[in-house]
Amino acid sequence: MTNTNATSTTQEVYCPECSTKGKKVERITLESLLNTDAVFQISEEQYRFCDAIDCETVYFGDNGITFSKRDLTVRVGVKERTAPRHVCYCFDHTIEEIDAEVQETGQSTVLDDIKARMKTACWCETKNPQGSCCLGTVDKYVKQAMAEYGNSLGANALRDEQADCCAVEAHEHSLNESEEIVMQDCCSTTDTSVDTKDKGQRTGVLAVAGSVLSALAASACCWIPLLLIAFGVSVGGVSAWLEQYRWLFLGLTAILLGTGFYFVYFRKPQCAPGTACAMPNPRFLRFNRVMLWVATAVVIATAAFPKYVVYLIPEDEPAQITIPANQVATASLGIAGMSCEACAVHLKNALVKVPGVLDVWVSYADSNATISFDDTMPPSVTDLASAVTGAGFKSDISAISR
């Protein structure tokens, strides 16, 4: 791959190496046939194909970037002098095959074979370096073989038989741009009514996105209450309601993520023959796989949020007050509304600030809080109730039960 500077629109139409007029090719052709290193150099510019046999350049763009024969994963038959020189990449026909058949029988059946088989399927955009129907090129080499090994009568008859839209004239550089585009597509057998994009790709993307949303829902029993608490809203029964659906959402997350892996790694694309999706785009496939693993990491981190969020919340230390051991008393408070260990930390931080409280232990599993205090100066029941409510939880505190 090289980079030259094209200075005008006229120059951009001609190969910068040999000045041969190039034919437009679609981006999908380059993406399908360039090697891994070269494919990442493709830009959004228009590219053209150079068919000059003595020129190393295969594709050149309006931006001056060129790709040579060594940048392709296939041999470019029309630019080679040694066998095998392919002219039909969909059905594996070569120039040598045409020459041998004409020498032996005086005619060639290659064109008839291609026309018969292309009615079922062909992949010109993604297999042929020229990015277009091969019939015109094949017709050209059949005529050459007939002229060299056959007779002029046979060559003239062949010209009359092949007087269709894909005749050799479609490959002459004297055609204008609009005619070239028509000639590239005139022999297409692809059913345009069929969606040329593999619906499975979209299904896989939607499944991965759904798995992330499902994981968020699975951990909602923890982060939604914390979010409500941060805005001073009492969580009430919200966390308990969300908690009962946690395992349902976790199961859905696993199913959706598994679906994403299936479509990205195992399912074969199902699309119309000859369309762009029939040959996977390596960059798009790599991007999908990277995003799948990124989504997997997000899903794991999100689903496990209730387990590690407690380590992300700073824990307030109680005031250091020294009193005789025989004056230290404890009381247990029943707490409703906690949905994860993070809630326990949040409640503890609220209770240790109540005047008279020496220390607090909150158990999410047991739904209770144990406070220690000076028995001679117990904390106010009203203050404790306010602290619990202010933290977003509920507790029926009518008195401190020691």
pLDDT in tens, 320-360: 666 777 788 888 888 887 777 777 888 888 898 898 889 99
Does the structure show a pLDDT above 70 at 256? yes
Q: Cα dist. 234→24, 115, 198, 310, 388 in Å?
A: 65, 74, 48, 20, 10
Residues 208 and 295: beta-carbon distance below 8 Å: yes
Residue 3 pLDDT:
62
pTM above 0.75, yes or no: no
Residues 6+ away with beta carbon under 8 Å from 354: 379, 380, 383, 384, 387
Does the structure show a pLDDT above 70 at 271? no
Residue 48 pLDDT:
95
CA distance 271 to 121: 11
Share of the chain above pLDDT 90, in %: 24
Proportion of the chain in helix, strand, coil states, percent, rounded to 5: 50, 10, 40
Strand partners, 116: none
Q: Which carries the bigger pLDDT value, residue 247 or residue 53? A: 53
CA dihedral 248, 364, 347, 331 (to 10 degrees): 150
- Spatial strand order of the sheet with 328-334 comes to 328-334, 368-374, 357-363
Please give the mean pLDDT across all residues of the chain: 76
**Model confidence pLDDT, tens digit, residues 130-162:** 998 889 899 999 999 998 886 544 445 444 444
- At 220, the pLDDT band (50, 70, 90 cuts) reads low
Strand partners, 59: 49, 67
CA distance 366 to 381: 21
Residue 109 pLDDT:
93
Lowest-confidence range among 111-120, 170-179, 357-366, 369-378?
A: 170-179
Does the structure show a pLDDT above 70 at 198? no
Stretch 292-319: mean pLDDT: 72
Does the structure show a pLDDT above 60 at 18? yes
Does the structure show a pLDDT above 70 at 92? yes
Residues 91 and 117: beta-carbon distance below 8 Å: yes
CA distance 83 to 327: 101
